[in-house]
Amino acid sequence: MRDVLRGTMVAAQVFLLLGFIVSGTALAECKLPPKAPQMPQGATASDEDMKHGREMLQTYVNTLQDYQKCIEAQIKNAPPDTKPEVKQQWAANADAAIDAAHTIADVYSIQLRAFKARQE
């Protein structure tokens, strides 16, 4: 299961990066989200590791949400001559950012369950 989630996370990041490359003007106005943080491994993590993982998760999700809002504003305020394909790519980038947020939240959730199972 861990390998599947890791593969999904990598696929989401690759999709984001490809979208950013294709739509170069999106790079100029909206700050690119950073690489996803590494979540702690529930099977071996300490309480402190899990707390820190939760903080990193929240920060990352907030960054992705800010990116999505920026892209949405960019689409709304785009010059009239902006090609529809460019706007579609921007929208795909925003969607990919939200997908990445869901993916990393799922990864953390799985690791948290593994951590809690160890505590019992």
Q: In this structure, how many other beta carbons lie within 10 angstroms of the beta carbon of residue 111?
A: 22
- The more confident residue out of 28 and 97 is 97
CB 104 within 8 A of CB 61: yes
- Give pLDDT, residue 99: 94
Q: Which structural domain, as residue segments, surrounds residue 97?
A: 2-37+46-119
Indicate yes or no: pTM above 0.85.
Answer: no
- Give pLDDT, residue 29: 80
Task: List Cβ neighbours of 22 (8 Å cut-off, separation of 6 or more).
Answer: 89
Distance separating alpha carbons of residues 79 and 95, to the nearest angstrom: 21
**Number of domains present in the structure of the chain:** 1
Q: Which of 100, 70, 119, 75 is nearest to 8 (CA)?
A: 100
CB 23 within 8 A of CB 110: no
- The more confident residue out of 42 and 31 is 42
